[in-house]
Amino acid sequence: MLPQANRLKHRRDFQAVYQKGIRRSGRYFTLRGLRQRPKISNKSIKVRTESIVVSKPPTRIGISISQKVSKKAVVRNRIKRQIRGVLRHLLPRISSGWNLAIIVQPTAVTCDYAEFLRELEQLLAEAEVINGN
């Protein structure tokens, strides 16, 4: 599982990513991404002065897989588990402040973990989401 703070769950968040975000496509996945606005908060210090703290929210990731990929829920769930495993591996390298939606293509049924890793890493690098590339 991905940590709770890194999950994109709500319909309105997915819709915002689809409507306003960038799009990168590969053989097995389509990556949609939208940069989040930084959160600004006023925190008072003991000396009664205010400082403005700007923090980037964590990157949130959602996976969308339709019945067009496979009619069998077992197959779809296996693919989602493999994608989450790849994302756990890549999460430390992903820069913060993004909403990402990963849409699985029907060709992903024949894919294995190494191919998922290679393609997701490539799509994240193209979208300039991964640090260090």
Specify the pLDDT at position 43.
56
All structural domains of the chain with their residue ranges: 4-126
Task: For residues 24 and 123, give the distance between their C-alpha atoms in angstroms, rounded to a whole number.
Answer: 6
Specify the pLDDT at position 133.
47
Tokens, residue 90 = 């890549």
- The more confident residue out of 107 and 2 is 107
Fold classified for 4-126 = Ribosomal Protein S5; domain 2 (3.30.230)
Tokens, residue 82 = 């493999």
Integer CA distances (angstroms), 109 to 14, 51, 82, in order: 23, 51, 11
- Contact at 8 Å (CB) between 101 and 8? yes
Which of helix, strand or coil describes residue 28? Answer: coil
pTM here?
0.83
Q: What is the pLDDT of residues 17-41, one digit of tens each?
A: 999 999 999 999 999 999 987 766 6
